[in-house]
Amino acid sequence: MITFARLQIPAILVLLLTACANSSAAKAEPTWTPDPCLTSNMNATVKPVNDLQREFNDASELAANLPREQLQPSIAEMQRIRREAEDQAFPACLESLKAHQLAHMNAVIDTLISFVGGADVDTLNRGMAQARNEYDQYTFEMARLLGVTLVPASETPTIAP
């Protein structure tokens, strides 16, 4: 036992209190974490989100070129990518981007499932239009976040002779 001004404290308690005090002091030191939403960090911040979007785009392009009977594995792959996108952590500044990404993915998947199920042409056209609109909104938001100005594509396609 150690005696401190008429208090008797077991030596083990003194060691524990000292260890806790030292541990607390070490944890109290501030650490610097860069803000992912700063303009200078935005490319790195959006990259993981856009990587999943590119993977989804590749899978949906493949699915668009398959016959109806062979779509189930492609739809399952797109659902896997969508679940990964849903589970992906992201800062608040990407909330709108993520919302459009997931809405686009859901519209594509739902439209393909409808196609496999034999939906009518109007239903499929509405689904494709919704998917296209969400992808456009995703692209606009990505450009805004990156500080890029989008230039519209030519309305009139030209064919070289």
Q: How many other CB atoms are found less than 10 A from the CB of residue 131? A: 21
Sequence ranges of the domains in the chain: 39-146
Task: Give me the phi and psi of 8, to 5 degrees please.
Answer: -105, 115
Q: What average pLDDT does the structure give for the chain?
A: 84
CB 81 within 8 A of CB 49: no
Interval 7-62: pLDDT, tens: 454 555 444 445 555 554 445 577 777 888 988 889 999 999 999 999 999 999 99
Average pLDDT over residues 119-141: 95
